[in-house]
Amino acid sequence: MVFSSIIFLWVLLPCILLLYYVSPKPFKNGILTVFSLFFYAWGEPRYVVLMIFSVLLNYGFGRLVEKFGKKRWLLALCVTLNLLLLGYFKYYNFLAEVLNPLLRGFDIALPAIQVTLPIGISFYTFQALSYVVDVYRGENQAQKNPLNMMLYISFFPQLIAGPIVKYHDIEEQIENRTVTLEGFSYGVKRFIFGLGKKVILANTFAEVVDAVYAYQAADVSQAMLWLTALLYMLQIYFDFSGYSDMAIGLGKMFGFTFIENFRLPYTATSIQDFWRKWHISLSSWFKEYVYIPLGGNRRGTARTYVNLWTVFLLTGIWHGAGWTFIFWGIYHGFFNVLERCFLGKWLKQEKFRPLAHIYAVFVVLIGWIFFRADTIGQAFSFIRYMFVPHSAVVLMERYMNRKLWMFLAAALLACGPVPWFWMKWKGRVLAQDGSVTVASWIGYMAILWFSILLLVNNTYNPFIYFRF
Q: How far is CA 242 from the centre of its chain?
A: 10
The residue annotated as part of the active site, out of 319, 332, 357, 390, is 319
Report the candidate in 191, 262, 183 with the shortest Cα–Cα distance to residue 447.
191
What per-residue confidence (pLDDT) applies to 428?
Answer: 53
What per-residue confidence (pLDDT) applies to 435?
Answer: 53
What per-residue confidence (pLDDT) applies to 131?
Answer: 92
Strands (E), 99-191: none
What per-residue confidence (pLDDT) applies to 184?
Answer: 92
Q: What is the residue extent of each domain of the chain?
A: 6-177, 182-269+348-457
* Distances, alpha carbon 406 to alpha carbons 198, 412, 461, in Å: 16, 10, 20
Residue 220, beta-bridge partner list: 394
What per-residue confidence (pLDDT) applies to 328?
Answer: 95
Positions in the chain whose pLDDT score sits under 70 = 417, 420-437, 459-468
Q: Is the dihedral of CA 342, 343, 344, 349 positive or negative?
A: positive
What per-residue confidence (pLDDT) applies to 107?
Answer: 73
Q: Is there a catalytic annotation at residue 357?
A: no
Determine the Cα–Cα distance for residues 167 and 137; give it in Å rounded to an integer: 13
Report the candidate in 58, 67, 205 with the shortest Cα–Cα distance to residue 128.
58
- 3-state class (DSSP) for residue 166: coil
Look up residue 262 and give its DSSP letter: -
Number of residues that make up the chain: 468
- pTM for this one? 0.90
Phi, psi of 447 (to 5 degrees): -60, -45
* Distances, alpha carbon 380 to alpha carbons 169, 228, 373, 391, 396, in Å: 41, 15, 9, 18, 21
What per-residue confidence (pLDDT) applies to 315?
Answer: 92
Please say whether the beta carbons of 78 and 150 come within 8 A: no
Please say whether the beta carbons of 323 and 376 come within 8 A: yes
What per-residue confidence (pLDDT) applies to 298?
Answer: 82
H/E segment holding residue 367: helix 353-372
What per-residue confidence (pLDDT) applies to 425?
Answer: 60
The answer for 255, left when phi > 0, alpha when psi is -120 to 50, beta otherwise, is left
